[in-house]
Structure 1
Amino acid sequence: MTTNGGPANAPVPRVAVVTGGSGGIGRASALRLAADGMAVLVHFAGNKERAQRTVDAITSAGGKAVAVSADITDEAAVEALFERAEQEFGGVDVVVHTAGIMLLAPLAEMSIADFDRMHRTNVRGTFLVCAQAARRLRPGGALITFSTSVTRLQLPGYAGYAASKGAVEAMTLILARELRGRDITVNAVAPGPTATPLFLQGKPPEVIDRIAGMAPMQRLGEPEDIAESVAFLAGPARWVNGQVLFTNGGAA
């Protein structure tokens, strides 16, 4: 455990749980929320060293953070993850669920094993994280899930992945209505092509260049671009609720 405290009379910060917070969009979101003054639980699945680097970056800047491992497809592990946030920081105000996997193949060629693995992580994992967030978020809180702009782009090879994210959108929009009267917002961020290891893996340069050219700005998004939307929904955007915020530079 790594934490960094402040003066005894310092105001208690808001607390964020960021799943998949060790790299890519999750890391950028954790760093951005910490810069906005939140204490952050950085969730990771397997790369402890990378998660610790995220924590170290936050604490070296004067923030509070702790790295915690959990299998987001395991109900008990997800419950324990949230309990750890409450033990460390006293409660949970923001949940950013970036953890997920992307396996690509034409629908007729995708193995059922890959399809099931992806849906177990992306759909079951989101369901479990959302359930804990709904039970534990304090008034004034925000839950931010992750969809994808591919649900609108209809790119060949993305059918299985887009289907899993369509389920995420459905859960997100319905949960926003189910939390009526709680003063908790529930939204999804839908990034376009973003320069993360998850996106870049296995793609030849010509494919990456072609996809980058889809946006009017003629580049891929950066994780920090997506973190801007996360910070908006986690902080000032109290009148944005039950929405999918497409963050793609105009690519869709």
Structure 2
Amino acid sequence: MGMTVSLAGKVALVTGGSRGIGRAVVERLTSDGARVVFTYHSAEAEATKLAEETGAEPVRCDQADLDTLPAIFAPVRDGLDILVNNAGIAFARPIAEITVDDFDRLLTINTKFPTFAIRTAIPLLRDGGRIINLSSINTALPSPGAGLYSASKAALEQITRVASRELGPRRITVNTVSPGATDTDMLRSVNTPEGLDRAVTFTALQRLGTPADVAAVIAFLAGPDAAWITGQNLHAGGGYVI
């Protein structure tokens, strides 16, 4: 028997696809048979290489600027089945030190842009489509310095839940995936080696996650077997939060 390609004929848009979890999502969705368009910001070489390896289509995007939204949806204007809002930024800043610019930048990139990406996607999504938003374990485990980051993701979680109600009549599911400690450039940029070691000890499965671990959960939500799951936040963290 041949391999079943679960997403054959589906069209997906993945934001922040050139590195980390987003890259793994592009690799997984293309291997599952989807046509994938993905965005990148500055990692042009990585984006080009990924496109060559997978056949996915890269589009440059700056999530700090909502005017870039039309360009990223142009390749899928004939119809979309899966939107993965993955792109985001993180930095640690105690509340006593945050600036207005910090707030505006983080909330725009992590919350405002994904929200308007959903709005832009709604008329393009076919009935039975999928929206998957990336959050963070930080919304369940508040930690010093993560105030703005946690707030940006918590807001997106609420948008997800409301969208699941609004789009449910069209059988469009809307879910959140919250990765745990996942071994990416972003994780290493905001944690010390000692912090990463601690994360492993906190994790029930006793290791850091890989981008492919998280991509597998996203692929499940994007696929036919997850049609009865909506409005949920799946913690893909190996038991970091239980």
Same fold (TM over 0.5): yes
Match runs of 1:59-208 below 5 Å:
59=55, 65-86=56-77, 90-208=78-196
CA distance in 2, matches of 1:133, 1:245: 22
Shift of 1:27: 0.4
Give yes or no for contact 1:93–1:138 (8 Å, CA) kept in 2. yes
Instruction: For 1:170-249, list aligned pairs within 5 A.
Output: 170-235=158-223, 236-249=225-238
Return 16-25 or 99-108, whichever deviates more: 99-108
User: Paired residue for 1:13?
Assistant: 9
The alignment partner of 2:117 has SS state of: helix
Q: How does 1:32-43 map to 2 (within 5 A)?
A: 32-43=28-39
CA distance in 2, matches of 1:48, 1:178: 36
Counterpart CA distance in 2 for 1:185 and 1:71 is 26
Q: Would the aligned equivalents of 2:13 and 2:37 in 1 still touch at CA under 8 Å?
A: yes
**Consecutive aligned runs of 4 or more in structure 1 exceeding 3 Å deviation:** 73-76
Instruction: Measure, in 2, the Cα distance between the counterparts of 1:196 and 1:112.
Output: 28
Task: Give the conservation status (yes or no) of the 8 Å contact 1:25–1:227.
Answer: yes
3-state SS, counterpart of residue 89 of structure 2: coil
Q: CA deviation at 1:193?
A: 1.2
1:88-138 deviation per Cα after TM superposition (whole angstroms, max 9, x unaligned)? xx4211011101000112222233322221111111111111111222111
Shift of 1:75: 3.3
Give me the CA root mean square deviation: 1.6
Cα gap change, 1:12 to 1:187, in 2 (>3 Å):
closer
Q: Deviations over 1:42-86 (max 9, x none)?
A: 211122111111111213xxxxx2111122343332122112223
Give me the TM-score of the superposition, normalised by structure 2: 0.92
Q: Deviations over 1:142-198 (max 9, x none)?
A: 000111111111222211110100100010100111113212111111111111111
Percent identity at matched positions? 39
Alignment check: 8 A CA contact 2:85 2:133 kept? yes
Secondary structure of the 1:46 match is: coil
Check 1:149–1:202 CA distance in 2 against 1; reply closer, same or farther (3 A cut). closer
Aligned-partner Cα distance in 2 for 1:81–1:215:
36
Q: Is the 1:118–1:164 Cα contact (8 Å) retained in structure 2?
A: yes
Amino acid at match of 2:35: A
The residue type equivalent to 2:80 in the other structure is: V
Name the CA distance, whole Å, in 2 between partners of 1:79 and 1:21. 18
Q: Which runs of 5+ in 1 are unaligned?
A: 1-10, 60-64
Q: Distance in 1 between matches of 2:8 and 2:145?
A: 46
- Compute the displacement of 1:202 (Å): 4.5
Does structure 2 retain, via aligned residues, the 8 Å contact 1:72–1:129? no
Confirm or deny: 8 A CA contact 1:104 1:110 kept in the other structure.
no
| 8 A Cα contact 2:8 2:34, kept in partner | no
- Counterpart code for 2:199: I
Code of the aligned partner of 1:83? A
State the SS of the aligned residue for 2:181.
coil
Q: Which residue of 2 aligns with 1:3?
A: none
Shift of 1:12: 6.9
| Matched residue SS, 2:226 | coil
Q: Partner of 1:8 in structure 2?
A: none
